[in-house]
Structure 1
Amino acid sequence: MARNVIKDQEQRELRRNQILSAAATVFAVRGVAVAKISDIAAEAGLSYGHVYNFFESKEQILLTLVVSSQERYTELLLEARGLQGTTVDKLRWLISQYLIKGRTSTHFWVVLQAQATEVLSAEEKAVILDKALYNRDLLADIISDGQAEGTIVEGDSIELATLLLSLFQGTSIWGYRGFGEPSDQAVDRMLRLVIR
């Protein structure tokens, strides 16, 4: 009996992730304001009603997707900070992971839309902003570590983190903007902004 419960939970989590993955694609291509539950269901290969077994609304799907994307980025930041090596090594690893990690550009594009449109409430947008600021501050902590070790330029670590973050997040959506993909040297070029 317990085995069936576990299997059911695993199947439910698989379906939920299938819906979120489909939603990321639909939101990125159609836009969060225009996308409908029926679009997400079609992309996921599920019935319209099946999606409602997992999420109450398009807004709930969007917020879940955004929060989970931000949490994955938090995990990357924490992992980078714990790596061996210099701060430059850690930043190189972080930016590379961000640029190559599966679907980062799609998720970032969706986060931007979630913040810019009227789909989510002011309170929901505040949650997204709080998490974005928390993640920016984690990056600033890494930069402060580098300043202390002498590998990162002096200056306001929050401002440097914001500049670097803007650069590599903006680079991640080049494909959506029609700019193509960044070269293998892009990470090193970005790092020149902060390396001493």
Structure 2
Amino acid sequence: MKVLIDNGHGVDTAGKRSPDGSLREYKYAREIAEKVVSELKKRGFDAERIVTEENDISLSERCRRVNSICDRIGTKNVILVSIHCNAAGNGSQWMNARGWEAWTSVGQTAADKLADCLYKAAEETDFKIRKDTTDGDPDKEGHLYILKHTKCPAVLTENLFQDNKEDVAFLLSEAGKETIVSLHVKGIINYLKTI
């Protein structure tokens, strides 16, 4: 199984940072993605980042890269996790929203089981967990481009809020980074054990 990790946004993406500028989503997501890939590889899993560039790669190009791998090795042999930080405002002021959540495309899809495994790993942390259980599972659903236009099961994680002071302090701490990385690694491995 090929595990693809996407790190959200790029250095040239407007906004996407904490109000004080200490956390920039593109940089944080890349650091976490690199560590997730490294940890998966240490455990013998085939993992890679789909965006290694610093600049923002378009969503259509990200999807093209994923789908090219799906076409080459088979869609059933690929999963995608896209790593982001959430925001409640426009980045100009601190907000109160907190927590961790995961998104899949709308409806019952192959990604729901992957999201379930990520949620179970997240529930082992002290995070507030943000869910939508109206369809019987915890993931939030939406028409997010990278989830809709990739052929393989795909989940987008929102790892706490970049405009909440407490969340940012945790995210930037070594313990926080380790927790976010571990959550993803554990969730992905637990999913791979089920297929």
Judging by fraction of residues, say which structure has more helix: 1
State which structure, 1 or 2, has the greater radius of gyration over its C-alpha atoms.
1
Task: Give the TM-score normalised by structure 1.
Answer: 0.27
Judging by fraction of residues, say which structure has more strand: 2
Task: Give the TM-score normalised by structure 2.
Answer: 0.27
More contact order relative to length (CA 8 Å, sep ≥ 6): 2
